[in-house]
């Protein structure tokens, strides 16, 4: 406040009137204090409303949920009959809807042969995983369903390409894990013919 007072005294000497000095000093204090009081009152009101409505600013939202994997056509529309098998070397599109995914982080896709352990399970010492179970492109998709304003399903569906040779046990499992929480997983198993 000393700097402001020194500045006002300087103006007083130039203008030669004490009234201006006092008026400026009061206006300066009011203009700083009133917005601070108003902001404090507004924050207090918001906190009271949050307490009454049961809302809070902490991140206690419901956990993300991964819906069932859906086989789709190239436009993202669900197939009328969901396949249980696929010829070797053939492709199909897949999608998954997530709920409680407010940041729209989407899903990460992986595929394993039936002989492989589920994602996140450590392999026994000396054992290797057979990753010749096909491929998924892209390996990450957005949270479905595809919005009505989207001009293309790109980014919402993934293309699964079955391996060209039948895997050892003849089946593959496709996994969609929530990007936000990889412990939330949905899966679909296909027999490769």
Q: What is the mean pLDDT of the chain?
A: 74
**What are the pLDDT digits (tens) for 33-56?**
455 455 555 555 445 444 444 444
pTM reported for the whole predicted model: 0.63
Q: How far apart are the first and last CA of the chain?
A: 83
Non-local (6+) Cβ contacts of 185 within 8 A are: 66, 118, 119, 175, 176, 177, 178
Q: Where in the chain is the domain with CATH 2.60.40?
A: 65-192
CATH topology of domain 65-192: Immunoglobulin-like (2.60.40)
For residue 32 the two structure tokens come to 């700083």
From the list 155, 62, 177, the residue with the least C-alpha distance to 111 is 177
State how far the Cα of 185 lies from the Cα of 193, in Å rounded to an integer: 26
State how far the Cα of 76 lies from the Cα of 30, in Å rounded to an integer: 61
Report the pLDDT averaged over residues 97-114: 86
Tell me what pLDDT residue 61 has. Answer: 65
């Amino acid at each position: 406040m000393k700097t402001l007072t020194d500045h006002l005294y300087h103006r007083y000497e130039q203008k030669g009137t004490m009234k201006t000095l006092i008026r400026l000093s009061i206006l300066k204090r009011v203009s700083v204090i009133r917005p601070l009081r108003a902001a404090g009152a507004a924050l207090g009101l918001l906190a009271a409303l949050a307490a009454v409505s049961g809302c809070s600013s902490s991140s206690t939202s419901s956990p993300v949920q991964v819906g069932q994997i859906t086989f789709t056509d190239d436009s993202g529309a669900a197939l009328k009959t969901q396949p249980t098998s696929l010829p070797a070397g053939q492709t199909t599109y897949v999608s998954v809807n997530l709920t409680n995914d407010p940041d729209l982080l989407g899903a990460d896709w992986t595929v394993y042969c039936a002989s492989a352990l589920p994602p996140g399970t450590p392999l026994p010492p000396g054992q290797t995983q057979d990753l010749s179970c096909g491929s998924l492109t892209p390996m990450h998709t957005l949270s479905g369903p595809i919005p009505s304003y989207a001009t293309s399903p790109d980014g919402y569906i993934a293309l699964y390409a079955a391996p060209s040779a039948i895997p050892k046990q003849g089946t593959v499992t496709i996994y969609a894990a929530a990007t936000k929480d990889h412990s939330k997983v949905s899966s679909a198993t296909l027999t490769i013919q």
